[in-house]
């Protein structure tokens, strides 16, 4: 994966152009050392650094781009709490720790809100909820089952919506029902990532950007991270690069596939149109397998996304399916000016569940958020930092641990993603 050829250079995001938080990172200049080195300045790496710095540890952060350069800074900004599985499903899958996993998941958005408040992060956070609208009868049954499961599991703040209530909540009559989780929210993700970097820096963390780690070695009780600008020596290394991991840690990358999600943003809309779209300001993502997701910014833009090309967009035409889906949902947006188009990699595990792993002593990893990483990536980073500082075993953590399920050989991944996407889109029409 070549950072210099990434699609963000051709399609800069709305978030990058409107970020209010400063970039505190600087390029690495020569060899350095730390007790703990974290590779990856997305939500997981940044929050892990904050957690470790709170415990008094000497920490270095490094990234080939900078804070929020990858998926953390390019998503829609939806803050959605919980794992995709409910309490019962987690217990059936993961045994005795399933109950603790469920409780941990329900608190992930709260952890994010706490960081924003503690460090005064300027990221346009709105605690306006998340709407899950049903696109057909099968989708509605799934939404109803999810609501029933959550209520049974003791989750509060979740309400079913009938067809009229859903139409009012999203500003479209395209859906037949849905639910709203009022504990969720939405934010400017690039500003949030930069704010986390500022917070880590204020606690003494050294934050290096524009410096890619090319490989790692272990010798004499220390890890060595090699970059074009120098080496980093550390007792403990955290790999938090998710979809950008590549060869840096095969136990992560071989058990994860990556594809692109693509987003468009309109110009600010006049009140005559904007006021009826998501009138209470929630974020939304629907019940499709290849889901649509969107929100409205404080300046009345619609930010709208869905699955993109596996290798990322190359031309404006590669966003035609995104714009077509947006207009189908909101006919009033036909002809609306699109000011920004962008895309980013997402990492998918076979079971769509993230993992914390310790492939070797002194080496920690976290990955596989499968498109749900704003709140969960935050929570995983904080948890991993606490575990490292306290010398806890991964087996004690209330999250899925160890390597993700095996996948077919890596050379088959791209073709598999293409086939699966086509199949899921067919299923979405009928089931």
Of the pLDDT bands very low, low, confident and very high (cuts 50, 70, 90), residue 408 is confident
Torsion of CA 81, 87, 88, 90, to 10 degrees: 80
Is 14 within 8 Å of 303 (Cβ atoms)? Answer: yes
Q: Dmax over Cα atoms in the chain, in whole Å?
A: 67
- Number of alpha carbons in the 13 Å side-chain half-sphere of residue 218: 11
| pLDDT given for residue 430 in this prediction | 66
Is the pLDDT score of 353 beyond 90?
A: yes
Is residue 196 very low, low, confident or very high in pLDDT (cuts 50, 70, 90)? Answer: very high
Phi, psi values for residue 37, rounded to 5°: -115, 130
CATH of 3-129+183-417, one of 3.50.50.60, 3.40.50.1000, 3.40.50.300, 3.20.20.370: 3.50.50.60
Instruction: Write out pLDDT tens, residues 121-173.
Output: 999 999 999 999 999 999 999 999 999 999 998 899 999 999 999 999 999 99
Categorize the per-residue pLDDT at 255 as very low, low, confident or very high, splitting at 50, 70 and 90.
Answer: very high
Residue 256 CA to residue 406 CA, distance in Å, equals 9
Assess whether pLDDT exceeds 90 at residue 44: yes
Query: Which band of pLDDT confidence, cut at 50, 70 and 90, is reported for residue 85?
Result: confident
Specify the pLDDT at position 134. Answer: 97
Is the pLDDT at 186 greater than 80, yes or no?
yes
Q: What is the pTM of this model?
A: 0.96
H-assigned helices in 65-203: 87-94, 98-106, 108-119, 137-152, 163-170, 189-202
Q: Quick one: pLDDT at residue 411?
A: 57
Query: Distance (Å, rounded) from C-alpha 210 to C-alpha 199?
Result: 19
Q: How far is CA 212 from CA 61, 115, 248, in A?
A: 11, 27, 11
Tell me what percent of the residues of the chain surpass a pLDDT of 90. 88
**pLDDT recorded at residue 431:** 64
Q: From residue 157, how far is each of 85, 147, 183, 226, 348 by CA, in Å?
A: 17, 11, 6, 47, 28
């Amino acid at each position: 994966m070549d950072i210099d050829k990434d699609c963000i250079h051709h399609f800069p995001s709305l978030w990058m152009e409107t970020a209010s938080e400063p970039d505190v990172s600087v390029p690495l200049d020569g060899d350095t050392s730390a007790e703990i080195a974290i590779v990856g300045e997305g939500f997981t790496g940044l929050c892990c650094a904050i957690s470790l710095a709170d415990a008094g540890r000497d920490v270095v952060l490094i990234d080939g781009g900078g804070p929020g350069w990858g998926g953390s800074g390019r998503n829609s900004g939806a803050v959605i709490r919980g794992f995709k599985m409910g309490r019962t499903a987690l217990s059936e899958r993961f045994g005795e720790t399933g109950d603790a996993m469920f409780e941990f998941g329900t608190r992930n958005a709260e952890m994010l809100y706490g960081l924003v408040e503690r460090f005064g992060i300027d990221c346009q956070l709105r605690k306006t909820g998340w709407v899950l609208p049903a696109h057909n009868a099968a989708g509605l049954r799934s939404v109803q089952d999810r609501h029933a499961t959550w209520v049974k599991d003791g989750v509060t703040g979740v309400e079913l919506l009938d067809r009229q209530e859903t139409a009012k909540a999203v500003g479209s009559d395209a859906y037949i029902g849905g639910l709203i989780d009022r504990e969720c929210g939405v934010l400017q993700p690039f500003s949030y990532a930069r704010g986390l970097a500022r917070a880590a820096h204020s606690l003494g963390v050294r934050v290096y950007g524009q410096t890619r780690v090319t490989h790692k070695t272990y010798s004499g009780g220390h890890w060595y991270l090699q970059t074009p600008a120098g080496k980093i020596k550390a007792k403990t290394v955290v790999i938090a690069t998710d979809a950008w991991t590549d060869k840096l840690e095969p136990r992560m990358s071989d058990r994860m596939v990556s594809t692109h999600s693509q987003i468009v943003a309109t110009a600010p809309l006049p009140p005559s149109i904007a006021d009826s779209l998501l009138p209470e300001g929630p974020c939304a993502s629907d019940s499709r397998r290849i889901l649509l997701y969107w929100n409205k910014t404080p300046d009345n833009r619609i930010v709208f996304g869905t699955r993109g090309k596996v290798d990322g967009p190359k031309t404006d035409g590669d966003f035609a399916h995104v714009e077509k889906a947006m207009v189908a949902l909101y006919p009033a947006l036909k002809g609306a000016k699109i000011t920004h188009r962008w895309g980013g990699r997402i990492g998918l595990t076979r079971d769509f569940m993230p993992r914390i792993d310790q492939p070797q002593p002194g080496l920690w990893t976290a990955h596989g958020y499968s498109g749900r990483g704003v709140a969960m990536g935050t929570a995983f980073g904080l948890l991993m930092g606490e575990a490292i500082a306290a010398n806890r075993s991964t087996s004690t953590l209330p999250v899925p641990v160890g390597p993700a399920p095996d996948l077919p050989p890596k050379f088959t991944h791209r073709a598999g993603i293409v086939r699966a996407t086509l199949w899921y889109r067919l299923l979405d029409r009928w089931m």
